[in-house]
């Protein structure tokens, strides 16, 4: 199925119009959903990694709950827990443990396209962040502004692609599109041709800026989530 008006030859305008139409539909049904982010960078890392080709409710949530239980975090009220459980805390807790011990707490799942355990990949990501002076959400935002090459230091790790990186930023409440399968498929259907992850993310981010410039105020994260809900055939406004 092709979405949008194919008489329009400008790819950016097609995506912008299709996204605006989704926004109008969601607003007519109730309200746009702002997806969950985390006040703890360690939890954002874990979620971003364990969400890779895994079912969120049956795999990711139980994994995060187990980590919270053994580290003393309150899963039901993470936003009120201080100080932030950041990248250094994850390294301090999981770093000294063996792969087997990490997997016992988390899961045995491997990162897509690798033989590496996701539990080990979480530690590797956290260590790279710490080595680049990133521990908290605030320091992540600062370092990203000052050192754009941080992305490639993380993505050089086996198993970390653009979707995982962007999702980590999204969970850290940084305004970026996560170009996962659903996002790429939606943009490709809008355009009537296959596009790559980088281009799909760029088109939606530019569309978001254009929509925001016309007086609307949905965040990039909100619009990313809206497209994901549409493509995964979920209600545009329900919380489930």
pLDDT digits (tens, 9 = 90+) for 155-182: 999 999 888 888 898 888 777 787 788 8
Phi/psi at 6 (5° precision): -75, -5
Residue that is written with structure tokens 């355990």 in the block = 117
Task: Single out the residue of 182, 238, 227, 213 nearest to residue 18, CA to CA.
Answer: 227
Contacts of 75 (CB under 8 A, 6+ apart): 64, 65, 68, 69
pLDDT at residue 1 in the model:
46
Query: 0.75 cut: is pTM over it?
Result: no
pLDDT in tens, 74-116: 998 887 778 889 999 999 999 999 999 999 999 999 998 899 9
Q: Could you tell me where the DSSP H helices lie in the chain?
A: 11-29, 41-50, 61-71, 87-94, 99-105, 118-131, 137-146, 150-155, 162-171, 181-191, 197-213, 220-231
- Cβ(1)–Cβ(189) under 8 Å? yes
Q: Are 99 and 119 in contact (CB under 8 A)?
A: yes
Give the 3-state secondary structure of residue 124.
helix
How many CB atoms lie under 10 A from the CB of residue 21?
A: 13
CA dihedral 21, 196, 154, 109 (to 10 degrees): 90
Residues 6+ away with beta carbon under 8 Å from 133: 139, 143
Q: Which pLDDT belongs to residue 154?
A: 94
Q: Which residues of the chain have pLDDT under 70?
A: 1-8, 215-216, 238-240
The burial of 31, by beta-carbon neighbours within 10 Å (0-12 exposed, 13-18 middle, 19 or more buried), is given as exposed
Give dist(CA 156, CA 3) in Å, integer: 35
């Amino acid at each position: 199925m092709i979405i949008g008006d194919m008489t329009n030859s400008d790819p950016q305008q097609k995506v912008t119009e299709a996204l605006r139409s989704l926004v109008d539909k969601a607003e007519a049904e109730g309200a746009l959903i702002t997806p969950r982010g985390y006040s703890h960078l360690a939890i954002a890392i874990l979620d971003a990694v364990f969400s890779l080709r895994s079912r969120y409710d049956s795999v990711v949530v139980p994994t995060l709950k187990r980590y919270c239980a053994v580290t003393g975090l309150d899963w039901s009220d993470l936003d009120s827990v201080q100080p932030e459980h950041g990248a250094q805390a994850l390294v301090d807790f999981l770093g000294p443990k063996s792969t087997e011990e990490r997997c016992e707490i988390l899961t045995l799942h491997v990162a897509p396209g690798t033989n590496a355990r996701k539990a080990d990949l979480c530690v590797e990501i956290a260590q790279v962040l710490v080595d680049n002076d990133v521990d908290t959400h605030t320091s992540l935002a600062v370092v990203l502004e000052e050192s754009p090459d941080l992305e490639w230091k993380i993505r050089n790790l086996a198993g970390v692609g653009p979707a995982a990186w962007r999702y980590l930023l999204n969970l850290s409440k940084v305004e970026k599109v996560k170009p996962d399968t659903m996002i790429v498929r939606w943009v490709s259907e809008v355009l009537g041709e296959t596009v790559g992850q980088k281009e799909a993310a760029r088109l939606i981010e530019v569309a978001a800026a254009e929509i925001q410039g016309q007086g609307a105020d949905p965040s990039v994260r909100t619009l990313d989530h809206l497209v994901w809900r549409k493509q995964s055939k979920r209600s545009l406004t329900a919380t489930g």
